[in-house]
A = this chain, B = another copy of it.
């Protein structure tokens, strides 16, 4: 007979999935939920593309059919967001703000002006334009959550992470939302490799590397790293001195030029040797938070640092591949394989329900965890998950050498949020000229901004001054 605690922990939960038609994150969550022994219930899939949600309902429910002992969750596509959210215990948000056509503009339009981006979804000009599309949606989600399930925990996976989480809190200040990202995990894995190589011992697990993390999403930094009682900073320095020039070859067996998400950690190591702290995100993300003359001056520079400028055409091809997989899954020609994704969403949920406590890095508004960033800025630090809630740990002040770099991104948060809140592209343009990767003259900045607005105007209709900017500068 199950104990009270077991019953509590394994009680039937309701999960609302916004963006529930996703062909990626959604399937990962399904796998992790199927593997979870301490929770069962229903997942309500909501998507503006309702057909996609229906597809995922079918795929999700196929797991229980194929693995009867893993049938803890039932999937249901919801026609309305209200139905999905009503009384939910957890809300998961993973959406694409717009389509890959808009993302194509975000990433590639600036190239005509000599500005290259390796990802284009978080910071820089691409991240800003994506935010202008995403934030109105997140204000809406926040308001709906306040109405339908104000006590729910809300897990966001959508980029630009910090701004999306900020938008939820702006719309509903009492929301229990946080943002999750696996980039720090990757750096912990890299540290595991290094421990193995440099100390000559079997490779430890990620969980054995204790770190203090601080910064903003995709530009987080590790200021303490220990393996057992070994301080990893001198070990990491030694590794960097050995490998910084040529790049790491352990992390990834695939030649990086064949993998638009790969890197050789050269930027990470260069930043460490310059500034003394361990940047904890993929090199493609890190590059975008630095002055673009450093790692992204032109495609050749990026190539020299061993990172790809991930083209959106690749993402489009990849989507084709995933749509094919969807068809095979629905037709039963292929089955969801049950292996853990390595993501922590499900572990967070069970911890919040009273299972084992968890310490992990998440994105939350600053309430003092980083004393030298303004209160309210959405920052990434470690936090503790227990049934008493999610509370950030004190991560300490950002060290002086990296504060200027972090601020260049963190500083724009309130301005971009305010621009979206007021539906004011003119204010957004104030942020656009201040984006550190924007090294254009004021005139060229305006030309580019108008072009990017024009390219994505289908998703900017709520902005009150859209007409003013949706016109080439020459024709004013």
Binding site for B on A (CB under 8 A): 3-5, 7-9, 11, 199, 201-202, 204, 208, 210-212, 224-230, 270, 274-275, 291, 293-294, 297, 301, 353-354, 357, 359, 367-369, 371-372, 374, 382-384, 386-389, 391-396, 400-401, 403-405, 407-408, 411-412, 414-415, 418, 427, 430-431, 433-434, 436, 438-442
Q: CA A348 – CA B449 in complex, angstroms?
A: 48
**Given B395, B415, B433, which contacts A274 in the complex, CB threshold below 8 Å?**
B433
Chain B residues with CB below 8 A from A201, complex form:
3-5
Contacts of A374 in B (CB 8 A): 372
Using known A-B contacts A387-B210, A391-B395, A407-B411, determine if residue A357 contacts B354 with beta carbons closer than 8 Å: no
A374 CB, min distance to chain B CBs, angstroms: 5
Smallest CB-CB separation from A403: which chain B residue?
B411
In the complex, the answer to whether B4 meets A354 with C-beta atoms within 8 Å is no
User: By the criterion CB–CB under 8 Å, are B226 and A386 in contact?
Assistant: yes
B411 and A225 form a contact (CB under 8 A): no
Cβ contact within 8 Å between A357 and B210: yes
User: How many copies of the polypeptide does the oligomer hold?
Assistant: 4
Partner of A401, one of B4, B211, B415: B415
- Residues of B close to A372: CB separation below 8 A: 374
Contact yes or no, A439 B439, CB < 8 A: yes
Q: Across the interface, do B227 and A8 meet the contact criterion of CB distance under 8 Å?
A: yes
Q: Which 9 A-B pairs have the closest CB atoms?
A: A8-B228, A368-B368, A228-B354, A226-B387, A4-B201, A210-B386, A404-B411, A210-B388, A224-B388
B residues within 8 A CB of A369? 368, 394
Say how far A177's CB is from chain B's closest CB, in angstroms.
16
Chain B neighbourhood of A294, CB < 8 A:
433, 441-442
| Cross-chain contact A384 with B388 (CB below 8 angstroms) | no
- Chain B residues, CB < 8 A from A408: 404, 407-408
Q: Is the CB of B394 within 8 A of A212?
A: no
A42 to chain B: closest CB distance in Å? 16
Closest chain B residue, CB of each to CB of A429: B274
Cα of A189 to Cα of B369 in the assembled complex, Å = 30
Q: A5-B208, A224-B389 are in contact. List 6 more A-B contacts (CB 8 A).
A: A4-B201, A5-B228, A11-B229, A228-B353, A291-B433, A392-B394
Among B225, B275, B404, which residue has its beta carbon within 8 angstroms of that of A412? B404
> Given the interface contacts A228-B4, A230-B8, does A439 sit within 8 Å of B384 by beta carbon?
no
Using CB atoms, name the residue of chain B closest to A9: B228
* B contact residues around A4 at 8 Å (CB): 199, 201-202, 204, 228
